[in-house]
Amino acid sequence: MKRVFADLHLRLNMKDRSATLRMVNKAAKLGYRLIAMPLAPETRTEEITKLREACNESGIEFATRIDLRPRTQNELMRQLRWLRRRFEVVCVACENKAVARQAAKDRRVDLLNFPFLDFRNRFFDRAEAELSSNSLAALEIDVKPLLLLEGPARIRLLSSLHREAAIAKKFHVPIVVSSGVSEERLLRKPREMAALAFLFGLDEDSALKAVSQNANAIIKRNREKLGSKFVAPGIRIVKEGKDC
């Protein structure tokens, strides 16, 4: 079966429509068939509809995403209650250990992203992975820093990513490799993204799944949950009416 390549972290500026359309068109030309971009909570439905239509015209599917940056566990819980059912992808930027632990065990969280490049502020360890494996949260790795960093800084980041990828594999936590870019010049073909994943220890099959299957699974699962027939995990309305 043909792979459906996805980039769940294109950072587009919706206020600059022409630049957004250029990025969407380039992503389509490079071989992506699904993209997601972080949106502000107050983004209007009509704006999302226009963006979705523009993506469809380019032959690419669009998914909505929200990036949460809570400072505390309680703040994260409040944000999830408010925003979970409004977006197809929920990512939590884990900037401290308490938030990282809470996000890892909450089934409403789809992606765990660790934005700091310093290994001392990256909190994906064995405890984090064990919590994630029970909640279905995936580890998101952005390639943008790998494209921009040089020398010792890049080596240190690769060392951290190699360790985190190994832990994720051991605990069966899905890995999603995203771009995290906002400029056309930094966009890479899906298989080039997979090749970058080799640098932190993913084999060919795992690397390709990280830019296709794992991302698509998140979108499919959440679209089912957001559908009108969803009741609870494993329970869906099949038929409604007096004769049921």
CB-based contact 200:158 (threshold 8 Å): yes
pLDDT score, position 228: 52
pLDDT score, position 202: 97
In a domain, 241, yes or no: no
In a domain, 244, yes or no: no
In a domain, 201, yes or no: yes
Tell how far CA 125 is from the center of its chain: 19
pLDDT score, position 102: 97
- Rounded Cα gap, residues 130 and 80, in angstroms: 21
Q: What is the pLDDT of residues 150-198, one digit of tens each?
A: 999 999 999 999 999 999 999 999 999 999 999 999 999 999 999 999 9
- Rounded Cα gap, residues 84 and 65, in angstroms: 10
C-alpha dist (Å) from residue 95 to 29, 73, 120, 231: 34, 11, 11, 33
C-alpha dist (Å) from residue 159 to 11, 79, 119, 122, 200: 25, 32, 9, 12, 7
- Report angle CA 75, 80, 85 to the nearest 5 degrees: 160
- Rounded Cα gap, residues 27 and 175, in angstroms: 21
In a domain, 232, yes or no: yes
- Rounded Cα gap, residues 213 and 93, in angstroms: 22
In a domain, 243, yes or no: no
In a domain, 208, yes or no: yes
Q: What is the CATH number of the domain that holds 96?
A: 3.20.20.140
Helices (H), the chain: 17-30, 45-57, 73-83, 97-105, 126-135, 144-148, 151-170, 190-198, 204-210, 213-226
- Rounded Cα gap, residues 135 and 172, in angstroms: 11
115: pLDDT strictly greater than 70 = yes
What is the domain range of residue 91? 5-236
pLDDT score, position 119: 81
Query: How many structural domains comprise the chain?
Result: 1
- Rounded Cα gap, residues 7 and 30, in angstroms: 11
In a domain, 78, yes or no: yes
In a domain, 41, yes or no: yes
240: pLDDT strictly greater than 80 = no
Output the average pLDDT for the chain.
Answer: 92
